[in-house]
Amino acid sequence: MSSSLIDRNPDLRRLREEGLAISVLDGRLHIQGIPFVTKQRSVARGDLLIFLALAGDKTRPPPSHAATFVGGMPCDHTGKMLGFARPAKTGPGRFVLCAKPIGREFADHHEMATTFVRLISGHAQIVNPGISISEPTFIAAASEDTAFRYVDTATARAGLGELSQRLAGGSVAIVGLGGTGSYVLDLIAKTPVERIHLFDDDEFQTHNAFRAPGAPSIDELREARPKVEHFAHVYGRMHAGVIPHCTRIDARSLHLLDHVDFAFLCMDDTSAKPAIIAHLERRDVAFIDVGMGLFRTDTGLMGTLRVTSSTPSKRDHVRSRGRIPLGGGGDDPYAENIQVADLNMLNAALAVLRYKRMRGFYADLGGEHFSAYSIDGNVIFNEDHASPCLKTRA
């Protein structure tokens, strides 16, 4: 992706043609091997990181005049820190740089990058007149290995690249693509997990359109495509690893879960859950099961949204406390199957938040393995706590 993106954009291509070692990494323009003066008035090399403004795969004018320098404190030829630099809060050896043309913004990334390179390396050339701006050993810049079909500039813009990498790699299964499952997909498709396996054997029909993300056209509804194919088509435009399986997971198809590292169980039917849960437990796979129990009253809908986690460090609560309905029909408080899009979305968001806490993207100070959101009181109950900050591979 890095090379093709550079080739498509004249401002990036010019930087490479002028001998700078550039690549696109974690949604930022990465320029390697820039000579700078240290506090001791020696010359070293560091890297310049610039947030990449993109519309799809086309660059736009930089929205900011700030960049990040990594590798040491950039100084002038006397050993004093450059006036437009200040230490970054993100860690030692990182400095925020701020500079802009007088009375205007940078026209493109070429102008912005070359301005900072000139301001930094100019002092290095005073100390060492023979120093080159680009070092040959840096020219073979690494290309970006990503799960996405285009660059994730949102993560770069927020400075969350290192945390986002905790979500990278592996395979996640979403079993059931109804209202809640489809919103789980919407959120997981925006993470760098390598593969997302979708399991459902139903068609995408009109009622699904009113409790799922997006806005399908009537022509799309007329196709009555399998849900997994519909959602794989939609989210495959963004994420390269969405894999549809038009099948119902039950005792006969459990082997399809053999290669997943994490599972979201978003099924209305509870009859298949005992076999699925037992299979995931045998394979030591963590999973999250969701449920939504709504009922009508004269004053409006009431009910609860449930998120149950099961991990290798804590599984006993699932059966001993009945945290997941495991029978058919009568024992399921969620069997009335009233679905409302905003509650489907919230149920999914609570589940994905729990997953991201497991992976260390969010701090996990509670380690709860069961939570229930009460709609009428707007209250979340957290129970079945395990060791916090659990890291599961997905």
CATH of the domain at 339: 3.40.50.720
% of the chain exceeding 70 in pLDDT: 92
Average pLDDT of the chain to the nearest whole number: 89
The answer to whether residues 220 and 337 belong to one domain is yes
* Chain segment 216-237, per-residue pLDDT in tens: 999 999 999 999 999 999 999 9
The answer to whether 322 and 385 are in contact (CB under 8 A) is no
Domain finish residue from 102, 121, 146: 146
In a domain, 392, yes or no: no
In a domain, 257, yes or no: yes
* Chain segment 10-54, per-residue pLDDT in tens: 999 999 888 888 888 778 899 999 999 999 999 999 999 999 999
In a domain, 23, yes or no: yes
In a domain, 154, yes or no: no
Domain finish residue from 88, 118, 146: 146
In a domain, 211, yes or no: yes
Domain finish residue from 146, 175, 209: 146
The answer to whether residues 235 and 174 belong to one domain is yes
- Is residue 134 over pLDDT 70? no
The answer to whether residues 122 and 172 belong to one domain is no
Total domains present in the chain: 2
The answer to whether residues 51 and 168 belong to one domain is no
The answer to whether residues 210 and 276 belong to one domain is yes
The answer to whether residues 83 and 213 belong to one domain is no
pLDDT score for 73: 94
pLDDT score for 367: 92
According to DSSP, residue 327 is labeled: S
Mean pLDDT within 1-7: 77
The answer to whether residues 45 and 131 belong to one domain is yes
The span from the CA of 14 to the CA of 191, in Å, is 31
Q: Which domain holds residue 67?
A: 2-146
The answer to whether residues 127 and 176 belong to one domain is no
* Chain segment 162-208, per-residue pLDDT in tens: 899 999 999 999 999 999 999 999 999 999 999 999 999 999 999 99
In a domain, 179, yes or no: yes
Residue 165: strand, helix, or coil: helix
The answer to whether residues 77 and 212 belong to one domain is no
The answer to whether residues 133 and 173 belong to one domain is no
Rg (CA), the chain: 26
| Nearest in space to 277 (alpha carbons), one of 344, 330, 334, 322 | 322
The span from the CA of 162 to the CA of 28, in Å, is 13
Question: Is the pTM of the predicted complex or chain greater than 0.85?
Answer: no
pLDDT score for 143: 45
Mean pLDDT within 326-331: 59
The answer to whether residues 138 and 168 belong to one domain is no
Sign of the alpha-carbon torsion through 224, 225, 231, 233 = negative
The answer to whether 198 and 228 are in contact (CB under 8 A) is yes
Type of residue at 72 = G
Measure CA of the first residue to CA of the last residue in the chain; give whole Å: 24
The span from the CA of 339 to the CA of 374, in Å, is 15
Tokens 């069961």 sit on residue:
370
* Chain segment 189-202, per-residue pLDDT in tens: 999 999 999 999 99
In a domain, 84, yes or no: yes
In a domain, 390, yes or no: no
The span from the CA of 291 to the CA of 151, in Å, is 34
The answer to whether residues 131 and 220 belong to one domain is no
